[in-house]
Amino acid sequence: MKFMVWGLGASTQRILKSRYLEEARIVGFIDINERMFVHSGGARTYRPEEALNHLAEVDYVLVLASSVKARRSIYQQAMKLGYPDEKMIFVYNTITHMELEKIHAQSDDALRKISSRLYEEQLRAEQIEKSKQLTIACVSDATDKERWIGKGLLPNDEGYQLDYERFRTLELAVKKIRECNVPGATAELGVFRGVCSRLIHAHLPERRHYLFDSFESFRPEEVEKEIQRGLVEKELWEAFKNTSVAVAMQGMPSPETCVIRQGFFPESLEEPDKDERFAFVSLDADLEESTYQGLQFFYPRMEAGGFIFVHDGVTPQIQNAIQRYEKDLGGRIRTVQLSDWFGTIVIPV
């Protein structure tokens, strides 16, 4: 696969440094400025009109520009100069997030052949834009007269946009707790970098908020056990290592009312915790045993009118954990499954 890259901006530099394009051969770069750039493979830079003489040598022209204005300008210039439309491939093929209008009809297979990682990035970018559109549409929702969406805390957070249904429902549940004066603390088991905890605590900052996490990924033996059972991938342990107490607490609305419980649950519990009552709990432990232990501890300590949100509800390990706890109780738990990523399970108490 041979191709030319149009654009030498920050997006191109990032993608080159990330080595997304190792599988394909870059013949040259195209840029409207006079600046020159020599790729480590020897590819040189051409002005758009000069590059026309080399198009027969390449399969595609890959446009990596990230801004809407730049993408539109590049496409218009390419068509004016007579570039073959079928050779133009945009990593970000949308020009507005409001309508998700496509620049042109391009083959997803072509981008996948150039770089499977870039193809996945384009899909992720489109999902973010769709979620932004959903967020914009819901800002004026009649249920949100107080402008609770994000509360100004995470307005640009990618995770909020991608997992909008989960976070928005969480906010409405916490709002109901506040309206109904449901007593109790809040907690999260499986904090990672603290996005969900910041959102919970922002709406009930005067209450104690417990953060239960090892802040160093999972217990190795628990991950290994679930890998052996085929419940999780081996990459899971590495994926959640990039965290710390400092990272999780960064931007926390009222850090003075937060309680850090660092370590593996339930060993991280301290004696006073056993007398605590809870109004809202997020269980995002990812693994079966930790989730089961979380239900064992929190469910009997929930106040009437409170909620437990169990993330990754469609995964077999989380379903197993809930079924195990139901068996302990000798009956079913009332649950509602959301239509968000991985099907968060809401347990109203």
User: Has residue 136 been placed in a domain?
Assistant: no
Q: Specify whether 216 is located in the same domain as 244.
A: yes
pLDDT the model gives residue 23: 59
| Angle of helix 316-329 versus helix 288-298 axis, rounded to 10 | 40
pLDDT the model gives residue 16: 77
> Are 243 and 193 contacting, i.e. CB atoms less than 8 angstroms apart?
yes
Strand order in the sheet with 2-6: 44-46, 25-30, 2-6, 60-63, 88-90
Q: Specify whether 76 is located in the same domain as 156.
A: no
pLDDT the model gives residue 213: 95
- Number of structural domains, the chain? 2
Q: Specify whether 83 is located in the same domain as 214.
A: no
pLDDT the model gives residue 132: 63
Domain that holds residue 273: 142-348
Q: Look at residues 239, 258, 256, 309 and name the one whose alpha carbon lies nearest to residue 280.
A: 309
Q: Specify whether 209 is located in the same domain as 293.
A: yes
pLDDT the model gives residue 145: 60
Q: Specify whether 97 is located in the same domain as 173.
A: no
Q: Could you give phi then psi for residue 76, rounded to 5 degrees? A: -60, -40
User: Has residue 39 been placed in a domain?
Assistant: yes
- Compute the distance between CA of residue 215 and CA of residue 322 in angstroms, rounded to an integer: 24
Q: Specify whether 180 is located in the same domain as 272.
A: yes
User: Has residue 83 been placed in a domain?
Assistant: yes
User: Has residue 253 been placed in a domain?
Assistant: yes
pLDDT the model gives residue 155: 45
User: Has residue 133 been placed in a domain?
Assistant: no
Following CA atoms 196, 347, 312, 207 in sequence, which dihedral angle do they give, to the nearest 10 degrees? 20
pLDDT the model gives residue 285: 92
User: Has residue 310 been placed in a domain?
Assistant: yes
Q: Specify whether 19 is located in the same domain as 117.
A: yes
pLDDT the model gives residue 3: 87
SS3 326: helix
Encoded tokens for 54? 């080399």
Q: Specify whether 124 is located in the same domain as 147.
A: no
User: Has residue 321 been placed in a domain?
Assistant: yes
Q: Specify whether 37 is located in the same domain as 157.
A: no
CA torsion through residues 346, 136, 195, 257, sign:
negative
Q: Look at residues 221, 199, 223, 219 and name the one whose alpha carbon lies nearest to residue 209.
A: 199
Q: Show which of 128, 159, 190 is a domain's final residue.
A: 128
Region for 151 from its dihedrals, namely left if φ exceeds 0, alpha if ψ lies in -120 to 50, beta otherwise: left
- Compute the distance between CA of residue 49 and CA of residue 45 in angstroms, rounded to an integer: 12
Q: Supply the CATH number for residue 77's domain.
A: 3.40.50.720
Q: Supply the CATH number for residue 323's domain.
A: 3.40.50.150
The whole-model pTM stands at: 0.65
Q: Specify whether 56 is located in the same domain as 157.
A: no
- pLDDT per residue as tens, the chain (349 positions): 788 998 887 778 777 777 777 656 888 889 877 555 555 556 788 899 999 988 998 989 988 877 777 888 888 899 999 999 889 988 876 655 444 567 777 776 778 887 887 788 777 777 766 666 665 555 555 555 665 555 555 545 556 666 778 888 998 899 899 999 999 999 999 999 898 899 899 889 999 999 999 998 787 787 787 778 777 766 666 667 788 999 999 888 899 999 999 999 999 999 999 999 999 999 999 899 999 999 999 999 999 999 999 999 999 999 999 999 999 999 999 999 998 878 999 999 9
Q: Specify whether 67 is located in the same domain as 89.
A: yes
Q: Specify whether 203 is located in the same domain as 327.
A: yes
User: Has residue 93 been placed in a domain?
Assistant: yes
Q: Show which of 97, 128, 159 is a domain's final residue.
A: 128
Distance of alpha carbon 88 from the chain centroid: 29
